[in-house]
Structures are given as structure tokens and as C-alpha cells.
């Protein structure tokens, strides 16, 4: 079976200091891959490279046959990314922010109109749909980040500290969703 993700010889330097040195691994379709290590070990940098957010590095990253640098648009359509901390436009409503992010991820308007309310309901945020992002609690903002990562039904979910700020029921829901996506 062809790997879903291939990292080959990835090296990243900041100001001449290597934070990643010759990192290589594969992730198979359906595999849940945990990337652990001490603070400052380069985990977030690796995830940003994998998600295509860092473009200047040595080596190669392929997601479902698409090179994240050379075929960026195709790769991005297959990746759902949740950063360590989400930065949404605070003046938007939850619905508006998710709609814009869905459009940027290539989700057509009819699909967004259907999926946004479904995901908000699933994550217990239906009542917050028309609230301003600035009025959300930290846990609610984290749920919103998960929704935006899932909105376009990506082949690959890249989650950086996904359980941060989530209450126990939502942690269990996220684990259930990961198992569903795994299948």
C-alpha cells in the first residue's frame, strides 16, 4: 500500500541552527500517527512543513502523491490543519468565519451550507453559530478550529495539540472523530 504521507530527508534551519535534521517517515492511509518529543524538538515545525505552511526547507514532503511545495494547491485540498492556537478574525461570526475558511479550502457553497451546521451541532456549538468569534471561550475556539480542519473532509488531518483546552466530553468526541476518519 502506497503511503499517504512521505517525508524524505527534511531539514529546517532557523538562523543557521538546525531544528530538524534529515527527518524521514511514512504514514499509511488510515494510520493514526503521534509525533511526540520535548519542547523545542521541532514537532510544530514538522507539522507546519507537512501542512505546507513552511515552504523553505530541504528534503521532500508528499501527501497522496502531491508535493506540498511544487503542487501546493492540490496538497492543501487534501490536508486539514489545526494549529496549536487558532487565530480567527474576531469580528466575524462563527458561521461567517467557517464559511470563509471553507471557501478558501475549496468547499463549494452548497456543501458549506450543509456541513457547517452539521459540524457545529456535532461539536455542541450550534447555539454559538451567530456569535462573534471574540465572544467564544478558549474551548469553544478550539472546537471551531477542529471544525475548520474537518470542513472539507480532508484525506489527512494534521493536528497540533488538538486536546488543548477541550473538556472531557469533547476530548472523547475528537477521539471518536479520529477513529471515524481513520476508517
Question: Residue 84: what pLDDT?
Answer: 79
In the 8-state DSSP scheme, what is residue 136?
Answer: S
* Distance separating alpha carbons of residues 159 and 156, to the nearest angstrom: 10
**What residue ranges of the chain have pLDDT lower than 70?**
none
Domain 1-77: CATH superfamily is P-loop containing nucleotide triphosphate hydrolases (3.40.50.300)
pLDDT score at 148: 92
Which three cell numbers mark 1? 500500500
pLDDT at 50: 95
- The pLDDT, as a whole number, for residue 24 is 97
Question: CATH 3.40.50.300 residue ranges in the chain?
Answer: 1-77
pTM of the model: 0.87
| Grid cell at residue 15 | 538562523
d(CA 153, CA 3): 19
Q: Could you tell me the CA-to-CA distances from 88 to 35, 141, 158, 173, 177 in Å, in that order?
A: 25, 9, 18, 22, 23
For residue 176, with 0-12 CB atoms within 10 Å meaning exposed, 13-18 middle and 19 or more buried, which class applies?
A: exposed
**Contact criterion met (CB below 8 Å) for 37 and 23:** no
Amino acid at each position: 500500500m502506497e503511503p499517504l504521507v512521505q517525508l524524505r530527508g527534511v531539514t529546517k534551519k532557523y538562523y543557521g541552527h538546525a531544528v530538524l535534521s534529515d527527518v524521514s517517515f511514512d504514514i499509511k492511509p488510515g494510520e493514526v500517527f503521534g509525533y511526540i518529543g520535548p519542547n523545542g524538538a521541532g514537532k510544530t515545525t514538522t507539522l507546519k512543513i507537512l501542512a505546507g505552511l513552511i515552504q523553505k526547507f530541504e528534503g521532500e514532503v508528499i501527501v497522496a502523491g502531491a508535493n506540498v511545495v511544487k503542487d501546493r494547491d492540490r496538497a492543501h485540498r487534501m490536508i486539514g490543519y489545526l494549529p496549536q492556537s487558532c487565530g480567527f478574525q474576531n469580528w466575524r461570526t462563527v458561521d461567517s468565519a467557517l464559511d470563509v475558511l471553507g471557501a478558501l479550502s475549496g468547499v463549494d457553497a452548497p456543501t458549506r451550507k450543509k456541513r457547517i451546521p452539521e459540524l457545529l451541532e456535532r461539536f455542541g456549538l450550534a447555539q454559538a453559530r451567530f456569535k462573534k468569534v471574540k465572544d467564544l471561550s478558549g474551548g469553544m475556539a478550539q472546537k471551531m478550529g477542529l471544525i475548520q480542519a474537518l470542513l472539507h473532509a480532508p484525506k489527512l488531518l494534521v493536528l497540533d495539540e488538538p486536546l488543548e483546552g477541550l473538556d472531557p466530553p469533547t476530548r472523547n468526541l475528537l477521539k471518536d472523530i479520529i477513529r471515524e476518519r481513520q476508517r
